[in-house]
Amino acid sequence: MSGVARVHSVVLDCPEPKALAGFYAGLLGWEIADEDEDWITLAGDDQTRIAFQRVPEYVPPAWPSAEHPQQFHLDLSVDDIGAAEKQVLALGAVRHEHQPGEGHWTVFLDPAGHPFCLVTG
């Protein structure tokens, strides 16, 4: 089945694109593909892209609250959640207090407050 479009990139709003791109570059091992003051794009080996755009007066998600919901989040596969947790915390992530995964995944917040999950497999 062919669709009308292909995903070009996932874009995250944030207050400081360079800082958040640095966090995800360290997390994913990706390189900067495009950069200006208000927009930075990271690309993986297969050209999968995540971009970060500056938003004045940015308000981070407050998941699981509905007032400022997460809208979406990234699930990132790892081989060892315990080892990966140490690494993401060292990069600047914070372990979220709400952990609904019961051992299947662990929820973190990136430096701009976006939730993401580490999942084994």
Tokens of 27: 């997390």
Residue numbers of the domain that contains 26: 1-58
99 and 51: one domain?
no
Look at residues 40, 58, 76 and tell me which one is the last residue of a structural domain: 58
120 and 67: one domain?
yes
67 and 120: one domain?
yes
Say which CATH number the domain at 19 has.
Answer: 3.30.720.120
pTM of the model: 0.86
Mean pLDDT by 10 residues, the chain (121 residues): 74 96 97 95 92 93 81 88 93 94 87 92 72
Tokens of 69: 């919901």
Look at residues 58, 90, 107 and tell me which one is the last residue of a structural domain: 58
β-sheet bridge partners, residue 78: 120
Peptide bond into 64 cis (omega under 30): yes
pLDDT at 26: 97
pLDDT at 5: 58
pLDDT at 70: 73
CA distance 7 to 80: 29
Strand order in the sheet with 49-54: 10-14, 49-54, 39-43, 31-36
What sign does the CA torsion over 96, 99, 103, 107 have?
Answer: negative
